């Protein structure tokens, strides 16, 4: 536990380490020590890990404002429940909840052992259910309020009827149902205020919310890391999307006030406090478009970089590839392979630098890395589109914008911008005036990851 005075704590190895905590003051101390010692006093990573150790931070609750958002989404879900399944008492219900996410930097590198730096957003999917009343009903029904459709999932496979053809959205639910099955039939409402298809992880949030719902109806309780892996498996095997681990991991492990730096080669992670938010904010802008080629191009890029790796490293990890390797193997690669390889190596390095910049509250450097990342995704990896480029260009022309970039899979969806707090209104106005589509803005305020929703607690306030 933290003590007052000089920040020292006993480590688990029984030696003493400096403990600065994760508060802005803690970050100040860390920076001060760095300056005094020229970075040689203590291994940063060790210090960082000790600062971030979960038991040291303790569980921090989402803010009152954020709980109000959850409550609103929950109440909407209940209204929908009553419309679809009839009257219900609140005490009969169980619920799981998950936020959406935005990635601050490190795109298209989670499936190549890279680093990513996402935060969970105060946008939510809630899965709320009641055990079915009839003992003759042997299926769980899941109704999506967004798609206005109900899918049936049988508890005994032999009862499955051929007519039960699932729509695309329902395959995500099917995956969690099959991999984390509730032990009794349920009536479920899936409700969200995350814009669907905008690249803010509405799919991962469905997986997580259903996981936490079903978790209350079975005896298999996994660690947060394993939950993320189970949800990713559901997406690969049931929805047929070859995604990386970023979305499920951050929706599962995110911590209020922190970005999550994930090392996708081994799933180690660091929680990095967003001290930056005292001076600036991450604003998410939804372009309102999603181009049809998104999922096909995603799979193509992934296959292509895996193949390129074979040429360069004989299928070791992209994490071992350096600029020097790229130069050496350049003649053996096509222009397109060279460009994709350059993006991967550059983006992994940028994400590392960006997380250090975040730790140092170096807004300027963080912003520069964001611009560079966008250029790389646009010109080298080619996953941007006209609308995202336009939004980034407008952001560039605004005073008080430190950096901006497309975020997530691309081909539509959102950009994320780092904007000086006093300039946020001007920034939004400029986007509204100069972007021909219908932009929507979301506050990049980091919240906790998914969990079982404590309904009684939520409704208390």
Q: Return the beta strands (E) in 319-439 as ranges.
A: 401-407, 412-420
Strand-pairing partners, residue 153, are: 140
Convert residues 108-147 into a mask of x (bound to ligand GLA by CB under 6 A) and - (unbound). Answer: x-xx------------------------------------
Q: Among 244, 367, 403, 444, which residue interacts with ligand GLA (rule: CB under 6 A)?
A: 244
Strand partners, 256: none
CA distance 162 to 160: 7
Smaller CB distance to ligand GLA: residue 361 or 407?
407
Dihedrals phi, psi of 358, to nearest 5 degrees: -65, -40
Shorter beta-carbon distance to ligand GLA: residue 403 or 412: 412
Tokens of 232: 């990713």
Which CB atom, from 33 or from 196, has the smaller least distance to ligand GLA?
Answer: 196
The H-assigned helical ranges of 15-110 are 24-37, 44-52, 54-57, 64-85
> Across the beta sheet with 118-131, what order do the strands follow?
149-154, 139-144, 186-192, 118-131, 94-103, 451-452
User: How far apart are CB 409 and ligand GLA at their closest, in Å?
Assistant: 3
As measured in angstroms, the least distance from the Cβ of 270 to ligand GLA is 18
Q: Which is nearer to ligand GLA, 44 or 389 (CB)?
A: 389
| Least gap, CB of 171 to ligand GLA (angstroms) | 15
CA dist 204 and 96 (Å) reads: 13
Cα radius of gyration (the chain): 23
Residue 43 makes CB contacts below 8 A (sequence gap 6+) with none
- Of 49-57, 68-76, 238-246, 286-294, the segment contacting ligand GLA by CB under 6 A is 238-246
Instruction: Give the shortest CB-135-to-ligand GLA separation in angstroms.
Output: 40
DSSP reduced 3-state for 399: coil
| C-beta closer to ligand GLA: residue 19 or 110 | 110
Phi, psi of 422 (to 5 degrees): -75, -10
Q: Are strands 16-18 and 8-10 parallel, antiparallel or unpaired?
A: antiparallel
Which H or E run contains 117?
Answer: none
Residue with smaller CB distance to ligand GLA, 188 or 250: 250
Residues 420-459 that bind ligand GLA (CB under 6 A): none
Binding residue (CB under 6 A) for ligand GLA from 200, 246, 276, 358: 246
One residue of 409, 439, 444, 446 binding ligand GLA per CB under 6 A: 409
Binding of ligand GLA at residue 243 (CB under 6 A)?
yes
Kindly determine how many residues on this chain lie close enough to bind ligand GLA according to the rule CB under 6 A: 11
Q: How many CB atoms lie within 10 A of CB 266?
A: 9
Which tokens sit at 124?
């939510």
DSSP, residue by residue, 131-169: E-S-TT--EEEEEETTTTEEEEEESSGGG--TT-PPPHH
Tell me whether residue 126 or residue 243 sits nearer to ligand GLA (CB atom).
243
Nearest C-alpha neighbor of 419 from the set 398, 388, 442: 398
- Applying CB under 6 A, among 17, 113, 207, 247 the residue interacting with ligand GLA is 247
Q: How far is the CB of 101 from ligand GLA (least distance, A)?
A: 9
Q: For ligand GLA, what does the binding mask look like between residues 85 and 114, x meaning CB under 6 A?
A: ------------------x---xx-xx---
| 3-class SS of residue 183 | coil
Quote the least distance from Cβ 405 to ligand GLA, whole Å.
Answer: 11
Show the site string, 389-408: x = touches ligand GLA by CB under 6 A, - = not: -------------------x
Q: Locate tokens 């480029």: which residue?
A: 389
Nearer to ligand GLA, 297 or 356 (CB): 297
Stretch that binds ligand GLA, among 2-10, 48-56, 239-247, 386-394 (CB under 6 A): 239-247
Residues with catalytic roles: 247
Can you list the alpha helix ranges (DSSP code H) found in 180-223?
A: 202-214
Contacts (Cβ under 8 Å, ≥6 apart) of 55: none
Q: How far is the CB of 107 from ligand GLA (least distance, A)?
A: 4
- Minimum Å gap between C-beta 110 and ligand GLA is 5
Residues making contact with ligand GLA (CB under 6 A): 103, 107-108, 110-111, 243-244, 246-247, 408-409
């Amino acid at each position: 536990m933290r003590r007052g005075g000089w920040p020292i704590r006993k480590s688990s190895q029984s030696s003493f380490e400096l403990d600065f905590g994760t508060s802005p003051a803690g970050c100040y101390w860390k920076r001060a020590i760095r300056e005094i010692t020229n970075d040689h006093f203590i291994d940063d990573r060790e210090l960082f890990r000790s600062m971030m150790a979960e038991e040291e931070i303790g569980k921090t609750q989402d803010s009152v404002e954020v709980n109000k958002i959850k409550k609103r989404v929950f109440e909407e879900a209940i209204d929908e429940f009553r419309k679809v399944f009839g009257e219900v008492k609140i005490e009969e219900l169980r619920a799981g909840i998950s936020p959406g996410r935005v990635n601050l930097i490190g795109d298209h590198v989670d499936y190549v052992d890279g680093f990513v730096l996402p935060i969970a957003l105060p946008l939510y999917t809630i899965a709320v259910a009641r055990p079915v009343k009839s003992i003759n009903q042997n299926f769980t029904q899941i109704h999506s309020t967004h798609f206005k459709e109900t899918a049936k999932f049988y508890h005994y496979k032999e009862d499955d009827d051929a007519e039960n053809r699932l729509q695309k959205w329902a395959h995500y639910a099917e995956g969690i149902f099959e991999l984390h099955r509730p032990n009794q039939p349920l009536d479920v409402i899936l409700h969200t205020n995350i814009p669907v298809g905008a690249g803010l992880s509405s799919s991962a949030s469905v997986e997580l919310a259903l996981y936490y719902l079903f978790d209350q109806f079975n005896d298999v309780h996994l660690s947060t890391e394993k939950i993320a892996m189970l949800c990713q498996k559901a997406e690969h095997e049931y929805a047929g999307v070859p995604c990386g681990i970023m979305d499920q991991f951050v929706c599962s492990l995110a911590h209020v006030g922190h970005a999550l730096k994930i090392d996708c080669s081994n799933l180690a992670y660091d929680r990095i406090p967003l001290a930056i938010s005292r001076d600036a904010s991450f604003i998410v802008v939804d372009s309102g478009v999603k181009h049809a080629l998104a999922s096909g191009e995603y799979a193509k890029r992934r296959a292509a970089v895996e193949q390129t790796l074979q040429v360069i490293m004989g299928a070791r990890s992209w994490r071992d590839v350096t600029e020097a390797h790229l130069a050496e193997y350049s003649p053996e690669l096509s222009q397109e392979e060279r460009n994709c390889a350059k993006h991967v190596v550059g983006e992994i390095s940028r994400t590392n630098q960006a997380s250090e910049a975040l730790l140092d509250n170096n807004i300027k450097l963080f912003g520069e890395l964001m611009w560079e990342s966008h250029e790389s995704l646009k010109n080298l990896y080619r996953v941007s589109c006209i609308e995202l480029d336009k939004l980034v260009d407008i952001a560039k022309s605004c005073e008080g914008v430190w950096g901006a970039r497309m975020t997530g899979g691309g081909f539509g969806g959102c950009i994320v911008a780092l904007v000086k707090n006093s300039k946020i209104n001007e920034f939004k106005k400029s986007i509204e005036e100069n972007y021909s589509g219908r932009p929507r803005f979301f506050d990049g305020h980091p919240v906790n990851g998914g969990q079982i929703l404590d309904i009684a607690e939520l409704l208390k306030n």
